[in-house]
Amino acid sequence: MCADPTRRQILEHLRGGELPAGQIASRFAISTPSISRHPKVLKEAGLVTERRDSNRIIYALVEDRLAICVGRFLSAVCPEQIVLRHTKWRPTTEGEES
């Protein structure tokens, strides 16, 4: 789902806040029908939400879900990083050895 550059760009645009479907489509050099399937795929993956405002569809980023997906991807690609993430950093206090 995130392998597609158009979907990645839509996620990037949504970082700034909600956007209507028409405004998302206007940022791309492809036809509106071609672009409209991408937010739907992102919605089905749980990465964006959709709400209706009169006759417009407004999309918003689901940041927590995106962070979880990226974390899972990185864990699969870089499994040695899992150990580092689960190791809690604890500052030393005076009199303690580092």
Answer whether residue 92 is part of any domain.
no
Q: How many structural domains compose the chain?
A: 1
Sign of the CA dihedral running 80, 82, 83, 87? positive
Answer whether residue 96 is part of any domain.
no
Give the pLDDT of residue 81: 58
What's the pTM? 0.68
**How many other CB atoms are found less than 10 A from the CB of residue 67?**
10
Answer whether residue 59 is part of any domain.
yes
Q: Contact 16/23 with Cβ under 8 angstroms?
A: no
Q: E strand or H helix at 51, and its extent?
A: strand 48-53
Domain that holds residue 71: 5-86
pLDDT in tens, the chain (98 residues): 567 899 989 999 998 899 999 999 999 998 888 888 899 999 998 889 999 999 999 999 987 777 666 666 667 777 665 555 555 555 555 655 54
Give the pLDDT of residue 65: 74
Give the pLDDT of residue 60: 95
- Domain containing 13 — which CATH number? 1.10.10.10
- DSSP three-state, residue 97: coil
Give the pLDDT of residue 85: 53
Answer whether residue 91 is part of any domain.
no
How far apart, in whole angstroms, are the C-alpha atoms of residue 16 and residue 30?
A: 22
| DSSP conformation class of 41 | H
